[in-house]
Amino acid sequence: MLERIRLFLASLDTQSQAQAPLDFATALGALMVEVMRADNEIAPDELTMIAKLLRQHCQLSEQSSELIRTEAQRLVDDAIDLHRFVKVVNDHTDEEERIEVIELLWMVAFADGKLDPQEDYTVRKLAGLMYVAHGDFIAAKLNVKEVLGLAD
């Protein structure tokens, strides 16, 4: 019995070591997917917004952005937590760029025309994990609402 447990634990260790490193676009896509899924609805407008933002901010083709979004969805489905994705984004961005990432997350949250409390909570949680100050978090939200023409 102990031998089987040891073998099982060894296989888990091997699997975690074999996990391929993430690129920035996929990690960013995963965070956007997490915001999209926060309200337990996947709206077509949100899927479109994620692909559009990946194209614009990661200089990807339409086909590449769609593939990365699909891969990000798969990774989020399999993920235990978001720290792997947040770490990649934090490692590749400075403070100002992380605020821009929060703006992108807000754009996904507002893509379907409404903000669900779970989406708000998810962006807030990610902002904390990315060390974005609360004032910058709020300013990013207000900026996106203004850009999208959404009223309070």
Per-residue pLDDT of 82-106, as tens digits, reads: 999 999 999 999 999 999 999 999 9
- Give the CATH number of domain 26-147; options: 3.40.50.10140, 3.40.50.2000, 1.10.3680.10, 1.10.10.10: 1.10.3680.10
**CA distances (Å), 118 to each of 34, 65, 71, 72, 114, in order?**
11, 25, 23, 20, 12
- The backbone torsions φ and ψ at residue 30, rounded to the nearest 5 degrees and listed phi first, read -65, -40
Q: In the predicted model, what is the mean pLDDT of residues 102-112?
A: 96
pLDDT at 133 over 90: yes
pLDDT at 56 over 50: yes
pLDDT at 74 over 60: yes
First vs last Cα of the chain: how many Å apart? 60
Share of the chain above pLDDT 70, in %: 86
Three-class SS string for 37-101? HCCCCCCHHHHHHHHHHHHHHHCCCHHHHHHHHHHHHHHHHHCCCCHHHHHHHHHHCCHHHHHHH
Q: In the predicted model, what is the mean pLDDT of residues 72-83?
A: 92
**pLDDT confidence of residue 18:** 46
The residue with greater pLDDT, 114 or 151, is 114
Q: Which residues contact residue 65 at a Cβ distance below 8 angstroms, ignoring those fewer than 6 apart?
A: 51, 52, 54, 55, 58
